[in-house]
Amino acid sequence: MRDAVADIADRIAARAGLRPPAWVVEARAGERAKARGVRLGDYRKLLDGDAGELDALVEMLRVGETRFFRHAEQIEALRRKLIPALARRRPAGETVRAWSAGCATGEEAWTLAMLLADGLPDRDVRVLGSDLSEEALARARAGRYRAEAVADLEPALRRRWFVRRGRAEVEVAPALRERVTFERRNLVEGAAAGERWDLVLCRNVLMYFDAATQRRVVDRLAASLVDDGFLVVGYAEHGAVRDVPSLSQLPGALAAYSRSAPVGPSVAKVARKSPAARRKASTALPPPVLQTPRARPADGPAIVRVDGMATAAEVAIAVRAALAAGGELVVELDGARHLDDDIATVLRRALAAARASGIATKLVATRPGPRRWLARHHLESA
């Protein structure tokens, strides 16, 4: 069984660069095997001659959590620092090209187009949204979302960029739609030949790749940028979580702004003509917002402490690593300054996986805020 799971995992990595935990591969491959009416060992053989089946399995492993204007600090960094920098570099009338790499169902690509259109009103803004999932891209191209998805947006943004479709849905307005295109792309293969981007967003994608694939993807994304272009990554990609390599540790290290810098820790700037400056800046990385033990204590559980402004992606990495190690898991929430719906989704999935694997999991919250949050999301320990 383990040989079959490892072999299937290798095929997934070769196809999409993903390296999910073994228990996730076994669970998802088991579901597909059952649907095809075969055992797991035979399912491995079935993958040999059926690329479509391998794509279906990758689709089940796809992480599609996204929303409009996700991660306020990163949005403000784009709005106040990067977009004004693009405005200084691109005279009126010129084209500004941006790529949302791993856009899922499109919310990030549309958000990027709104930000650029507002910040660069006299430029021709073109945004590409790409993802590996055809199902997600179909939703992105349709541009239709539940009304709740834009409920928190500023009224002026909603009026400008969305059209009501009945009581329950909104649709992206034509003026925004004409700026954005969507394509199926595998980030492991990099950008198309000859492409050059002013801005690339690849947020909360790299963390699902193994270290070698991360290196290849980052190198290829960096190579697709114009000189002094910008690469924006998620918080977790900055080495805040154990076992996730920092971008500064990759070949051709990117210059990362420190937490105290105006742009914030979520932005990496590629200065391809200044290697010395790049090495110097890459040493200033943000401190961890999640803490997991490097080794499980012999007489106690693994502990994941959710601190500060931890994101759902960071929580997912830490919890998955702990679950993969087996044994009891404790998730402590009292140190969190913010707990959102995405983190609730991550913990709910983790609890389900723990039950399926017979792993005892405890969610700990003593402060009133985290306790109310747990109750509101109906989260209970496994």
DSSP string, 172-184: E-HHHHTTEEEEE
Please say whether the beta carbons of 255 and 230 come within 8 A.
Answer: no
What pLDDT is recorded for position 293? Answer: 32
The phi and psi torsions of 174 (rounded to 5 degrees) equal -55, -35
What pLDDT is recorded for position 101? Answer: 92
User: Using CA atoms, how far apart are residues 152 and 251, in angstroms rounded to an integer?
Assistant: 40
User: Using CA atoms, how far apart are residues 356 and 21, in angstroms rounded to an integer?
Assistant: 14
Beta bridge partners of 172: 162
What pLDDT is recorded for position 278? Answer: 33
What pLDDT is recorded for position 94? Answer: 92
> CA 319 from chain center: how many Å?
16
Kindly list the strands in the beta sheet with 124-131, ordered across the sheet, starting from the edge strand earlier in the chain: 180-184, 124-131, 95-101, 197-202, 225-233, 267-269, 255-256
What pLDDT is recorded for position 286? Answer: 30
Name the CA radius of gyration of the chain, rounded. Answer: 21
Beta bridge partners of 99: 128, 200
Q: List the chain residues with pLDDT less than 70.
A: 1-2, 17, 19-21, 62-65, 207, 235-300, 309, 326, 381-382
Please say whether the beta carbons of 266 and 71 come within 8 A.
Answer: yes
User: Using CA atoms, how far apart are residues 149 and 341, in angstroms rounded to an integer?
Assistant: 13
- Which amino acid does the sequence have at 135? E
Please say whether the beta carbons of 96 and 125 come within 8 A.
Answer: yes
Give the CA dihedral 284, 290, 296, 297, nearest 10 degrees: 100
Q: Which residues are known catalytic residues?
A: 28, 131
How many residues are listed for the chain in this entry? 382
Dihedral sign of CA atoms 74, 75, 80, 83 in order: positive
What pLDDT is recorded for position 134? Answer: 86
Please say whether the beta carbons of 266 and 311 come within 8 A.
Answer: no
What pLDDT is recorded for position 124? Answer: 95
Name the nearest CA neighbour of 110 among 76, 67, 73, 152: 67
| Three-state SS sequence of 156-215 | HHHHHHEEEECCCEEEECHHHHCCEEEEECCHHHCCCCCCCEEEEEECCCHHHECHHHHH
Beta strands 95-101 and 197-202: pairing type?
parallel
Tell me the two tokens of residue 380: 């209970």
Residue whose token pair is 């694997």: 357
The CATH label, of 3.20.20.80, 3.40.50.150, 1.10.1040.10, 3.20.19.10, for the domain at 72-281 is 3.40.50.150
Domain locations in the chain?
Answer: 2-61, 72-281, 290-376
The DSSP line for 228-268 is EEEEEE-GGGGT-STTS--GGGSSS--EEPPTTSTT-TTEE
Tell me the two tokens of residue 170: 């909104």
Q: What is the largest CA-CA distance in the chain?
A: 66
What pLDDT is recorded for position 121? Answer: 93
The CATH code of the domain at 290-376 is: 3.30.750.24
